[in-house]
Structure 1
């Protein structure tokens, strides 16, 4: 298993794996920071074609691209098309662009997903059932609305640790009169982190009756934010 954050993909990962010609099973979980997206062609040309005995390959690969113009970011359809020819391996991909930071990310993984964590989920998250995941982090420059949190609760039924970064105000502001909205339940959540978030998300989880949390949850939040949303703890 290879699990790491890699800055020099070609020099560190590719050169190492290409020397392992007798490798039969490979689990590759990496975060790569570079100027271009990794895709299925990279997997085939850089890794798979050099491992003739490889019969089992699972992966979770995220490329984080710096100094990016949106026009330079490849589409999800293009990325997904590069995985043709991988046999029975089912691949899920997601592409995001963050204009404020001029950065992007391309994430793809073999499905079913067997890791216990899932990081940097955005609104472009592809639904599914992730029964092994216990830890999730959310990040986006676009607002997370109520329906998004419903999707998260359904996709990760055994979620225990949730952290969030999003400074963008919700467009569909909730209030306690929205009885038609589905109640979101996080039955196993024991730790909730608001790392850098708009007050709307604190209200979403701590004030509105449309979200149900377990008792005795550990909360990490800026004091001023908590003071504002609770009206000075009244």
Structure 2
């Protein structure tokens, strides 16, 4: 099977080498360890869709530990499309913070402009700059006009402004 949809926190794990598209949904928070389990279960995942507007519980403990020093870096080696436009800011940070996640070049990202603005500290945060530079196409789901600071922060991205 190429698709695995509707995965929640109760996902038991396993190895699914043929799955290329994964969607995650839950009303309970997804913690960093959950994303590590997802990456290991779907090593050749190319597309990831995430829907969760509940804040992560363990984010505070990560911040008190020298800003994520004790976390395992999650490497998405095949991921080329990431949709996080219906998520809490914690998940935008989960994927863009280079201490938590390693993304490949040429990623297509669907995200909320407002969440992106908050997580990147108005497009000035160094800790998210590395992963943002790997984005080749950026779809902003709640912005309809250009923003110079955004365009400078995403130097390699074609930016599509979409207003829902």
Identify the residue that residue 69 of structure 2 maps to in structure 1: 179
Corresponding residue to 1:207 among 65, 72, 97: 97
Identify the residue that residue 227 of structure 1 maps to in structure 2: 117
Identify the residue that residue 143 of structure 1 maps to in structure 2: 29
Identify the residue that residue 156 of structure 2 maps to in structure 1: none
Which of structures 1 and 2 has the bigger CA Rg? 1
Task: Provide the rounded CA distance (Å) in 1 between the counterparts of 2:23 and 2:85.
Answer: 10
Task: Provide the rounded CA distance (Å) in 2 between the counterparts of 1:180 and 1:232.
Answer: 26
Task: Provide the rounded CA distance (Å) in 2 between the counterparts of 1:219 and 1:131.
Answer: 23
Unaligned runs of 5+ in 2: 125-164
Task: Provide the rounded CA distance (Å) in 1 between the counterparts of 2:69 and 2:85.
Answer: 29
SS of the residue 1:118 aligns to: strand
SS of the residue 2:19 aligns to: coil
Asked whether the equivalents of residues 46 and 80 of structure 2 are also in contact (C-alpha less than 8 Å), the reply is yes
Task: Provide the rounded CA distance (Å) in 2 between the counterparts of 1:195 and 1:178.
Answer: 23
Deviation at 1:178, TM superposition (A): 2.5
Task: Provide the rounded CA distance (Å) in 1 between the counterparts of 2:74 and 2:49.
Answer: 16
Identify the residue that residue 19 of structure 2 maps to in structure 1: 133
Given the two structures, how large is their TM-score scaled by the length of structure 1? 0.50
Deviation at 1:182, TM superposition (A): 1.1
Bigger share in strand: 1
Q: Deviations over 1:155-174 (max 9, x none)?
A: 00000000100000001104
Task: Provide the rounded CA distance (Å) in 1 between the counterparts of 2:51 and 2:32.
Answer: 16
Paired positions, count: 120
Corresponding residue to 2:82 among 176, 187, 192: 192
SS of the residue 2:123 aligns to: coil
Runs of 4+ displaced beyond 6 Å: none
Deviation at 1:198, TM superposition (A): 0.1
Answering whether residue 42 of structure 2 is matched by residue 156 of structure 1, we say yes
Asked whether the equivalents of residues 68 and 99 of structure 2 are also in contact (C-alpha less than 8 Å), the reply is no
Task: Provide the rounded CA distance (Å) in 1 between the counterparts of 2:123 and 2:95.
Answer: 15
Q: CA RMSD in A?
A: 1.2
Task: Provide the rounded CA distance (Å) in 1 between the counterparts of 2:6 and 2:84.
Answer: 14
Deviation at 1:177, TM superposition (A): 2.8
Answering whether residue 20 of structure 2 is matched by residue 119 of structure 1, we say no
Unaligned runs of 5+ in 1: 1-114
SS of the residue 1:203 aligns to: helix
